[in-house]
Chain A
Amino acid sequence: MSRVVGVLALQGAFEAHQHVLRELGFETVQVRTPAELELVDALVMPGGESTTMSHLLVTSGLFESIDARLKQGMPVFGTCAGMILLAQGVLDGRSDQKSFGAIDIDVKRNAYGRQIDSFETDIAVDGFVDDFHAVFIRAPQIARYGDGVTVLARHGQDVVLARQGSVMVASFHPELTSDMRIHSLFTGLLQEV
């Protein structure tokens, strides 16, 4: 049976993720409503503005439905703002900002500074032969991670790619390069569940 990978499409870089997923041979669906969520076997939460997405998750009714699917073990991959939405704690979030608490990490938003401090660098990823070229844009930082979290890549001391069960997060943007290995790592989770 072919698997459908949804991309949360309330705001942000959802089309870039769809492009990579299609190249990998997956059918993808833009998810803006609870009904669209029912069509998917896994979900990507893209980069964008986490405050905007947090608002729209509540008004669209998607917050509860995604929360329920996450509790059932739906594989999910959050990049940048998507990682903030999946985190247990947001250290400098707005008081009304909601997150799913699906992975045992605390994050700091915009920890690397403003756009002028955005950067690209090669990182070593667990299990990859060659380095991965990572693009960091006003990136969040994982300030704490629990024992159940597997670290997959670091930049300096900072964890930038991690996994706990069927939840994977990256503080950078694998959808902005043509290297599809990190998306493959995620779609590999579909085989496990």
Chain B
Amino acid sequence: MGHARLVGTLIAMTTSKGNSASGPMRVNRGLAEMLKGGVIMDVVNPEQAKIAEDAGATAVMALERVPADIRRDGGVARMSDPEMIEGIKAVVTIPVMAKARIGHFVEAQILEALGVDFIDESEVLTPADETHHIDKFAFTSPFVCGATNLGEALRRISEGAALIRSKGEAGTGNVVEAVRHLRSIFGDIRRITQADSAELFDWAKKLGAPLPLVQEIAETGKLQVPIFCAGGIATPADAALAMQLGAEAVFVGSGIFKSDDPSPRAKAIVQATAHFRDAHVLAKVSRNLGAPMTGIGMDKINERYADRGW
């Protein structure tokens, strides 16, 4: 699909209301709408998937190793074994997501064939393509992609992503990177709404993003698809921080099952995400959760996953 036509298709799919699209894109962005205000939890086996669902997760991300372990083990991280993904699908009624490597459209084809509800084209896995992301319009299944800034978010949307998430450093238990991404994305959206029509051309150039999508943000003041927080969330307060900064839901990876007592922590993060502005609820649910995952500082990590993706 040529670039001009692709952008034309996107514009046709999006109205000034910001929530209308057509074809598979409407039901896919629609599923992202349904996940708002919720917590999507990384799980590595059916037992964890049950704990997540029991705690009130809106969806689970099925993967063989949580990011903290991928980071520890090193080597090439790939799509999970289909057997393992099916084992998790069999025990929960909530949506099941799974990860494909950046640019690895065959892993995505396999995940679609497995009937996975959302495909995460994820920097947590080792990239398969150094230049190209997956052409997500070629699929019926919805995709979520990470973004560190608004330009990256708009490039992923122009490739067909139905949902954007921050790209906080997975497996660190440190929320600082996700906060930076959310502040950058929402800050630029706010600045674009103040720009005049001539300045929008420069914004598109600076962001490396299609002009029509930038013009649309100037008009609506919001991203074309929902935006969630991912990366480094370890406590109920972290989840509420992401929500108050403007994220519409949260992904929690290593933060739950790398903590001392996963079930109460998972329940507390669900409550904190729903009642993210109510400090009394946050104070109540933050008590007696045991130790969170230890976490690591940004100066101690040898590879930044957020740098993966183009």
- A interface residues, Cβ below 8 angstroms from B: 9-16, 19, 32-33, 47-49, 51-52, 55-56, 59-60, 80-81, 92, 94, 109-110, 113-116, 118-120, 135-138, 173, 176-178
Contact = CB atoms under 8 A, between A and B. Distances in A.
B275 to A, nearest CB: 6
B15 A13 contact: no
Interface residues of B, number: 38
Contacts of A47: 33-34
Interface stretch (B24-32, B102-110, B182-190, B203-211): B24-32
22 contacts: A13-B30, A48-B35, A48-B36, A48-B37, A48-B38, A48-B58, A51-B93, A51-B94, A52-B58, A59-B271, A92-B93, A94-B93, A114-B115, A115-B28, A115-B141, A116-B141, A118-B27, A120-B22, A138-B31, A176-B19, A176-B20, A176-B30
B270 A176 contact: no
A60 B267 CA distance: 13
Contacts of B28: 115, 118
A11 B36 contact: yes
Given A12-B37, A109-B93, A32 B275 contact: yes
B31 A137 contact: yes
A172 to B, nearest CB: 10
Contacts of A10: 37, 274
Interface of B: 15, 17, 19-20, 22, 26-28, 30-31, 33-38, 53, 55-59, 93-95, 112, 115, 117-118, 140-142, 267, 270-271, 274-275, 278
Interface centre among B17, B27, B55, B278 (most CB of A within 10 A): B27
Main secondary structure of the interface of B (DSSP, over half): loop
B275 A135 contact: no
A13 B95 contact: no
B147 to A, nearest CB: 21
A80 B34 contact: yes
A81 B31 CA distance: 12
Contacts, number: 118
Contact of A13 (B26, B36, B55): B36
B34 to A, nearest CB: 5
A115 B274 contact: no
A138 B249 CA distance: 19
A14 B226 CA distance: 13
A51 B17 CA distance: 29
Nearest to B58: A49
Nearest to B20: A178
A19 B17 contact: yes
Contacts of B17: 19, 178
A56 B33 contact: no
Contacts of B95: 49, 114-115, 138
B34 A19 contact: no
A113 B141 CA distance: 13
A57 B142 CA distance: 29
A135 B38 CA distance: 21
Contacts of B31: 115, 118, 137-138
B105 to A, nearest CB: 16
